[in-house]
Copies of this chain bind each other. A is one copy, B any other.
Amino acid sequence: MLEWTPDVGPVLRRSVRYGRGVGLHRRIVERQGEFLLFALTPPRRATPPEKRQEIAEATLKRLHTLDLDGLVLYDIDDESDRNPEERPFPFLPTMDPAEYLSRHLHEWNIPVVVYRTVGKYAEAQLRTWLGGQEPDRVLSVFVGTSSRDKPVTTSLTRAQALRSEVRPDLLLGGVAIPERHTRKGDEHLRLLAKQDAGCAFFITQVVYDINAAKNLVSDYHYECVARGQEPVPIVFTFSVCGSMKTLEFLTWLGVDVPRWIQNELRHADGTLEVSVEEALATALELIAYCRRLGVPFGLNVESVSVRRAEIESSVNLAARLGAELRR
């Protein structure tokens, strides 16, 4: 979840493929799933405006070859309050994703899922933002606080209510954390509560622990069956990992990386290649599992590092995942 490195190349305008992205809204509303997203972190706030534009264009150029259904823009919070361990990468404030989208990605033709760490914003700000969005181009995921002790300006509940009031046609998603299910066992109930509050899809944090993800999907599925409720799409997020530093960062973020995968990555000649294969294997198993249960799903690839090789591998992973979907 760090910013992308700029890539000097020809300015890309109106040349971004339209892709199948037009279908994202429908695929969510009709609970079909089988869509592909790619997640970016906006540039650092310290980045000068012209450089931001360069980054945006380089990014779009990189994603050009992918048949994406949507882009995800993260809203990065410090989060160091939720983990007393030292952060492996320093926290550098990033641009507001909504601002990044409106200023630098307005030529992007496919839907964008804008994350909103709602506690950072005043109610009026959120209200204005919600009012200004076009629901066929923008979706949002509201994120609550990273720890109970953090003071918030707007609570998640209040933000959800605001959206229902101001912009009920804007598709809202929620975060799903398989690791929290491992520890507390009630993440499926949290998802259903978020559904009641308006969520039409969920996006997980990065998945390395296949059983944690399957446990959550399974409990969610059977709870939906018990309630006679339809499941909504769950989007599984994958990332590559090209170094021990990135692995450390994933762990710091709260991702459970099974010991054997950590060992594979640590001892591999090509850490990055191994991580791509692991992510692919995990995704394939989740795809088969969700199809079998009848739980709609999407896939999301996120790059957690700024290293060019890791970014390129993320794009490669997304291409391979896209080929597995029934679109």
Report which A residues bind B (CB closer than 8 A): 185, 209-211, 214-215, 217-219, 221-222, 258-260, 263-264, 267, 289
For A225, the closest partner residue in chain B by CB is: B267
Please state if B217 and A260 are interface contacts (CB–CB under 8 Å): yes
Q: How far is A211 from B215 in the complex, measured between Cα atoms in Å?
A: 13
Shortest distance from the beta carbon of A27 to any chain B beta carbon, whole Å: 25
22 contacts across the A-B interface (CB closer than 8 A): A185-B259, A209-B211, A210-B211, A211-B211, A211-B259, A211-B260, A214-B258, A214-B260, A215-B259, A215-B260, A217-B260, A218-B259, A218-B260, A218-B263, A218-B264, A219-B259, A219-B260, A219-B263, A221-B263, A222-B263, A222-B267, A260-B289
Shortest distance from the beta carbon of A189 to any chain B beta carbon, whole Å: 14
Q: How would you classify the secondary structure of chain A's contact residues: helix, strand, loop or mixed? A: helix
Q: How far is A263 from B211 in the complex, measured between Cα atoms in Å?
A: 13
Listed residue (A210, A258, A260, A289) with the most chain B CB atoms within 10 angstroms of its CB: A260
Please state if B219 and A258 are interface contacts (CB–CB under 8 Å): no
Across-interface contacts of A222 in B (CB, < 8 A):
263, 267
Q: How far is A185 from B219 in the complex, measured between Cα atoms in Å?
A: 28
Across-interface contacts of A185 in B (CB, < 8 A):
259
Shortest distance from the beta carbon of A68 to any chain B beta carbon, whole Å: 29
For A214, the closest partner residue in chain B by CB is: B260
Q: Please give me the 3 A-B residue pairs with the lowest Cβ-Cβ distance, nearest first.
A: A218-B260, A215-B259, A214-B260
Shortest distance from the beta carbon of A159 to any chain B beta carbon, whole Å: 31
Q: How far is A46 from B61 in the complex, measured between Cα atoms in Å?
A: 77
Across-interface contacts of A215 in B (CB, < 8 A):
258-260
Q: How far is A289 from B185 in the complex, measured between Cα atoms in Å?
A: 29
Shortest distance from the beta carbon of A208 to any chain B beta carbon, whole Å: 10
Q: How far is A68 from B215 in the complex, measured between Cα atoms in Å?
A: 35
Across-interface contacts of A259 in B (CB, < 8 A):
185, 211, 215, 218-219
Shortest distance from the beta carbon of A185 to any chain B beta carbon, whole Å: 8
Across-interface contacts of A221 in B (CB, < 8 A):
263
Across-interface contacts of A258 in B (CB, < 8 A):
211, 214-215
Q: How far is A264 from B217 in the complex, measured between Cα atoms in Å?
A: 12
